[in-house]
């Protein structure tokens, strides 16, 4: 969803900086964007490393002169990423640390790195990617905790940035068809979201049409979080 958002923003005229731990995938993705006539540069970044986060922001400033939109979308349930199925109290602490660091700490790092520049510009939008499991809870405890904290981060950035023309919103999807198994997760609407549906919401929140929206968490989960009788 991060890559799809970057491509859509680039198609609309934005200059994008792509970051990821996978350098090969980054280069290929940026080349696709450039081939479509837009501007994109890349930097390999581990979001757990603040020096690398800072370097990515410095690249954006050197290349384009401003940072107008930040999309914090690095993440994933540690249990899935590391293939862990044991009870939480038996999960290695290193796995839990990864879940908290990637899903929450990386977003805090990026906010720290961009807010000074956004204050100087007197404008900026921060979009944090949450999850339905940040609202309902999760069997992967560190994931649920981190995604719930993304809502608090969003509100805090909104308070901090409002006097300077900076907005912050959280987008919390339910199951999204970024991989086939997501189709098996139940929603009240009986399906998973197409990635374009989530990206459309992100693009709206980044736009001037959403200029009076800040500090809010937007559920896009097909009703998964509303509860009620089956």
Catalytic residues: 143
**Contact (Cβ atoms closer than 8 angstroms) between residue 76 and residue 98:** no
- Rounded Cα distance between 122 and 116, Å, is 10
Q: Which helix (H) or strand (E) holds 9?
A: helix 2-11
Q: For residues 160 and 162, give the distance between their C-alpha atoms in angstroms, rounded to a whole number.
A: 6
CA-closest candidate to residue 60, choices 109, 101, 118: 118
14 C-beta neighbours (distance < 10 Å), count: 18
- E strand spans, the chain: 15-20, 39-44, 69-72, 124-129, 166-173, 217-220
**For residues 66 and 126, is the Cβ–Cβ distance under 8 A?**
no
């Amino acid at each position: 969803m991060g890559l799809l958002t970057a491509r859509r923003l680039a198609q609309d005229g934005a200059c994008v900086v792509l970051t990821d731990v996978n350098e090969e995938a980054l280069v290929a993705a940026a080349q696709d964007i450039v081939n479509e006539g837009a501007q994109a540069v890349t930097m390999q970044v581990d979001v757990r490393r603040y020096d690398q986060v800072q370097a990515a922001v410095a690249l954006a400033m050197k290349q384009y002169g401003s940072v107008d939109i930040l999309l914090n979308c690095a993440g994933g349930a540690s249990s899935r990423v590391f293939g862990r199925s044991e009870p939480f109290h038996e999960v290695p602490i290193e796995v839990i640390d990864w879940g908290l660091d990637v899903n929450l700490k990386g977003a805090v790092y990026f906010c720290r790195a961009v807010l000074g520049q956004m204050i100087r510009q007197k404008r900026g939008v921060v979009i944090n990617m949450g999850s339905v499991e940040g609202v309902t809870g999760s069997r992967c405890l560190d994931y649920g905790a981190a995604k719930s904290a993304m809502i608090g981060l969003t509100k805090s950035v909104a308070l901090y940035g409002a006097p300077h023309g900076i907005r912050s919103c959280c987008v919390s999807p339910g199951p999204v068809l970024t991989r086939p198994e997501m189709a098996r997760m139940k929603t009240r609407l009986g399906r998973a979201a197409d990635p374009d549906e989530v990206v459309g919401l992100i693009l709206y929140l980044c736009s001037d049409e959403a200029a009076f929206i800040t500090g809010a968490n937007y559920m896009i989960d097909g009703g998964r979080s509303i509860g009620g009788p089956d």
